[in-house]
Amino acid sequence: MKLIYILSLLFSSLFSFTQALIPNPPQLSATSYLLLDAKTLKVISEDNSNQSTGLASITKIMTAYVVADQINKGFLKNDVLVKISEKCWRTEGSRMFVKEGTEVSVEDLMLGVIVQSGNDASCALAEHIAGSEYDFSILMNEYAKEMELEETNFMNPTGLPDVNHYSTAKDIAKLSIRLIEDYPETYKIFSQKEFTYNDIRQLNRNSLLWQDDSIDGIKTGHTSSSGYCMVSSAKRGDMRLIAVTLNSASEKARLRDSRRLLDYGFRYYSTKKILSKYETVSSVEVWAGNQDNLNLGPAEDIYLTLTKPEFNALELVVSKNLGVKAPIEKNDVLDTLDFFVDGQKLKSIDLVAVKAVDSKGMLSSAFEAIGFYIYSFFMQDEVN
C-alpha cells in the first residue's frame, strides 16, 4: 500500500469540522469588483472581475510604476528637472498646477501624479521619458505585457477617456501587487495625505487614508464614462488585502464599497504562515549516498488565507516517496504536500531536498543502486 503521512498543524481542532458559517460578502454599488489577499492571491469576493472597463485615474498606478522602474534602471533621476510644455499645462482634469515653461523635478512631479492625481504632472513625465504621451502609452503597454495583464490597454498616462483605454479589476489588482512588491518606496507615496507645491496645499484624493491607519493606498479615479473607481489596500499583521471597485455609483459609494470589502475580508479571514522555506516536513530514504536519509521541505515560505474555523481543521498530507538514488541536488523536487480542509484539497506544493547529497564510492554506489532498483520494483508492484 502506498504510504501516507498526515501532519496536523499545532492549532488543529480536536473536533470534527463543520463548514464555517459567515455572512455573504457585502452588496456593493460597483458593477465590477475584486477583493483578494496580496500574498496568497486568495480571492475573497468578486463580481465581474474580468469585465473590461475604463480606468480613469487608476491609470496612474501604471504611470507611477513605469517612472519608478525607469529610475531603478538608471534612465532617470529624482532630481532631474522636467520642462513643462504648453500641452501639459493645458491638460484637462485634475491638476498639480505646474506652469508652462517652468522646470519641475521628477520627484515633485511624482508627488503630483500620486497624491494630487495631476494629469499635467503625468503628461510632463510621459513627455520627458518617451517624447509624447502616446509613445509613453506604448511603453506602458509593454510593461502590461510583461506583467501578463491580458485584458489591459493604455492610450495615455492620465486615464482621460479613450475607447481603447481599458482594463479589468483582476488586472488592476495584479498591477497593484507588482507596484507594492517591486517598488515599496514608491508605494509609500500613495499613503502621503498631502503635499505643497508652488504654495498650493494639495490633499490626497483617497479620503480612506484619514479613516483607518491600516489603509495605505492606493488610488481613486473618476470620469463620466468610467464612473467612480477605487483601488484600496490595507495591511493588518501578516495580511494585506487589495480591494478594486470599478464604476461605483458616486464618490461616497466608492468609499463605502471599498471600506465594506476591506472590513469584510479582515473580519472573517486571516493570512498565516504555515511553513517556512526548507522547514522539514518529511524525510526520504537515500540509496547510494553519503547519508541514509534526506529531509524535505518547501522551496519557499507557504502562506494560506482561510477563515478561522478552516485553519482549525487544516491538515497537511504528504505522499511518502519510496526512496531516491544519490546524487541529489539541493532544491530537487522529490515529493508533494497536499493541504486539506474537511476532506477537500485546497492546494498542493512541491517538497524539495533541503540540501545536496553526494554519491558513495563507485563500488558501494553500484551495489546500492542495484538494491534500489530491486526495492523499487517490488514496492511499485505492491502499490499496484
Dihedrals phi, psi of 194, to nearest 5 degrees: -165, 165
Closest CA to 88 of 132, 137, 140: 132
Cβ-proximal residues to 300 (8 Å cutoff; 6+ apart), any chain: 277
* Residue range 246-284, pLDDT digits in tens: 999 999 999 999 999 999 999 999 999 999 999 999 999
Our answer to whether residue 276 is catalytic in this structure is: no
What pLDDT shows up at residue 346?
93
Question: Is 4-15+274-383 a CATH 2.60.410.10 domain?
Answer: yes
Structure confidence at residue 21 (pLDDT): 80
Give mean pLDDT, residues 340-369. 81
The pLDDT value given to residue 19 = 56
CATH code of domain 32-268:
3.40.710.10
Among the options 45, 117, 176, 258, which is catalytic? 117
Catalytic residue at 57?
Answer: yes
Residue keyed to cell 502506498: 2
Average pLDDT over residues 312-335: 90
What is residue 38's predicted lDDT score, i.e. its pLDDT?
Answer: 98
Residue 364 reports pLDDT greater than 70: no
- What CA–CA distance (Å, rounded) separates 42 from 274? 15
Mean pLDDT, the chain, rounded, equals 89
Residue 9 clears pLDDT 50, i.e. is over it = no
- Confidence at residue 264, expressed as pLDDT on a 0 to 100 scale: 97
pLDDT at 382: 46
Q: How far apart are CA 242 and CA 35, in angstroms?
A: 6
> What is the model's pLDDT at position 288?
87
Write out the DSSP string of 258-301. HHHHHHHHHHH-EEEEEE-TT---EEEEEESBSSSEEEEE-SS-
Distance CA 368, CA 290 (A): 11
Report the alpha-carbon distance of residue 89 to residue 188 in Å, rounded.
Answer: 27
Reported in sequence order, the residue ranges of 4-51 that DSSP labels E, i.e. its strands, are 4-8, 32-37, 43-47
Q: Where are the domains of the chain?
A: 4-15+274-383, 32-268
pLDDT at 240: 98
Q: Is the pLDDT assigned to residue 222 strictly greater than 60?
A: yes
pLDDT at 225: 86
**Which single residue is written with the C-alpha cell 541514509?**
292
pLDDT recorded at residue 238? 84
Instruction: Please tell me which residue, 16 or 130, carries the higher pLDDT value.
Output: 130
pLDDT given at position 320: 76
Catalytic residue selected from 42, 60, 170, 272: 60
pLDDT reported for residue 174: 98
Could you say which of 57, 167, 176, 226 is catalytic? 57
Report pLDDT for 319.
81
**Angstrom distance (rounded) from CA 4 to CA 1:** 9
C-alpha cell at 190: 500613495
Q: Are 137 and 153 spatial neighbours (Cβ–Cβ below 8 Å)? A: no
